[in-house]
Amino acid sequence: MNVERAMVIFAHPDDAEFGTAGTVASWARSGIEVAYVCVTDGSAGSNEPGVVREELAEIRMAEQRAACDVLGVEDLTIVGIQDGYVELTLDLRRALTREVRRFRPDVLVAPDPTRYWDDSRSYINHIDHRTVGQACMAVANPDSSTRPMFPELLAEGFEPHELPYLWIGTFGAEADTYIDITETIETKIEALRCHKSQIHDWPVDEWIRDRARERAEGHGFEYAEAFKTFKLREREEERRQADEASAGDSGGQGRG
């Protein structure tokens, strides 16, 4: 997979650090340009009495910027929908499509729109995660790639962009791609610790290492992040190459 630009879209500040920061750090180290798009303001990230949403939102945005600095992510967009109130609207689809058409990534990393709970059934997935995942599916097809969708973006200069690859972070058995993050797991942990309002005194280092070690089991490295991946634009390229190879083989046989 040839990647020069990658975009990670997620619901809340810290989502990307929990899910894909090891991969992001590896990409950034190798010279791949990475963009983050955070959909919410993070303002529901506390259940303590007296917490003011507006104040918490400012704290969490600062934490997300600090995490980006650790990872080497220079391009951060905050859509700013109120945490907990994300809906699958045309406005959300348009906002995400604008960012994809602007940045024109080779790979889009998105939340899993089908994940309602974890394998242990001890956690119900946040509806913001699922909704952002659904919006990303619409961005992949038809929103970003087709000219009839959101013609107002054309007027702003954002031409259609067909995504070559879509990656979805996963915690279950559906993964088909495992990224070795052995060299970047400490960077992942450092970035996650930037989210001080969420981590508190939780021993996140141990939890992250245990989970990454589970992902890597049987794949020949110590720590990993897991994805289920889709080749979108590449299907046409592969078909073209197969046709050319077939034509070449036929030509060779004819000359023989």
- pLDDT tens for 226-253 read 999 999 975 555 555 655 666 665 444 3
pLDDT greater than 60 at residue 18: yes
Name the residue range of residue 197's domain: 5-255
Q: What is the pLDDT of residues 70-99, one digit of tens each?
A: 999 999 999 999 999 999 999 999 999 999
> What is the domain-level CATH number for residue 150?
3.40.50.10320
The predicted model scores a pTM of 0.90
Structural domain tally of the chain? 1
Render 93-155 in DSSP notation, one character per residue: HHHHHHHHHHH--SEEEE--TT--B-TTS--BPPHHHHHHHHHHHHIIIIITT-TTS-HHHHH
Q: What is the pLDDT of residues 108-156, one digit of tens each?
A: 999 999 987 887 788 888 899 999 999 999 999 999 999 999 999 999 9
| Strand 224-231 relative to strand 177-180, pairing | antiparallel
Is residue 112 a contact partner of residue 169, using CB atoms and an 8 Å limit?
A: yes
